[in-house]
A and B are shown apart, each in its own frame.
Chain A
Amino acid sequence: DTAVSQTPKYLVTQMGNDKSIKCEQNLGHDTMYWYKQDSKKFLKIMFSYNNKELIINETVPNRFSPKSPDKAHLNLHINSLELGDSAVYFCASSQDANGAGELFFGEGSRLTVL
């Protein structure tokens, strides 16, 4: 039973399309995140939600819009996809937004924009 699951795992699409990646966690955590692993393999935080409220919003194009219908779900919607959006996107969760604690990651969603 996967703790943090994201779908789809692979996504190939054309430039200009709109796509979504879904994430669900069954750990009862209050905080969820989206990370992007770029071509240089850095994992960079994009967004963080705590109890459905946005708490971290790094410098990300506004074509990227996170949506948290409840604290167990954080979906990532991307409009007008560009070649540079090709990356692996990881969803993660943690017990809370403050203090020390580990992140639990999903398996990643590899997005390829042609």
Chain B
Amino acid sequence: DQQVKQNSPSLSVQEGRISILNCDYTNSMFDYFLWYKKYPAEGPTFLISISSIKDKNEDGRFTVFLNKSAKHLSLHIVPSQPGDSAVYFCAASDQNYGQNFVFGPGTRLSVLP
């Protein structure tokens, strides 16, 4: 059973436009969420996180939105740059169980110049 879903395997966006990557989860006990970015032949690197006590967290061009009632979060990248082209993983955890993060399958973002 997939507790964390990223239903778009890929996304293409023009440089300078907004990229919106979506993530849905099924476990209502999840209370901490992270986004990771992965380039080919490298490990995932941390991008941004959000706790369930917030509905938005911003870091530069990256903003994560959390809708707890819909069990949905999204990552917005504005403006998108060619260097943002990578696979983006959403991860979720129930902090009562420590760092047992559950990852989604990832979305491949291509930012076209």
List A residues at the B interface (Cβ < 8 Å): 4, 31, 33, 35, 40-45, 48, 55-56, 90, 92, 94, 96-108
CB of B67 within 8 Å of the partner chain: no
Q: Are A33 and B99 in contact (CB under 8 A)?
A: yes
Query: B36: which A residues are within 8 A, CB to CB?
Result: 103, 105
B32 shortest CB reach to chain A, Å: 5
Q: Are A105 and B44 in contact (CB under 8 A)?
A: yes
Output the residue of A35, A41, A92, A97 with the most chain B CB within 10 A: A41
Count of chain B residues near A, Cβ 8 A = 25
B4 to chain A: closest residue by CB: A42
- Identify 18 new A-B residue pairs, CB closer than 8 A, beyond the known A35-B103, A42-B104, A43-B103: A4-B43, A41-B105, A48-B98, A48-B99, A56-B100, A94-B99, A98-B99, A99-B98, A100-B51, A100-B95, A101-B99, A103-B46, A104-B46, A105-B36, A105-B44, A107-B42, A107-B43, A108-B43
Number of interchain pairs (Cβ within 8 Å): 65
What 8 A-B pairs come out closest when comparing CB atoms?
A: A105-B43, A43-B103, A102-B46, A97-B98, A41-B105, A107-B43, A105-B44, A100-B32
List B residues at the A interface (Cβ < 8 Å): 2, 32, 34, 36, 41-46, 49, 51, 87, 89, 91, 95, 98-106
A42, B45: Cα distance in complex, Å: 15
Q: Given the known inter-chain contacts A41-B106, A100-B51, A102-B49, please indicate yes or no for A90 contacting B99, CB distance below 8 A.
A: no
Query: B89: which A residues are within 8 A, CB to CB?
Result: 43
Query: A41: which B residues are within 8 A, CB to CB?
Result: 87, 105-106
A103, B91: Cα distance in complex, Å: 11
Query: A35: which B residues are within 8 A, CB to CB?
Result: 103
Other-chain residue from B34, B42, B45, B99 in contact with A31 (beta carbon distance below 8 A): B99
Q: Given the known inter-chain contacts A42-B103, A45-B100, please indicate yes or no for A99 contacting B46, CB distance below 8 A.
A: no
A48, B100: Cα distance in complex, Å: 8
A4, B32: Cα distance in complex, Å: 23
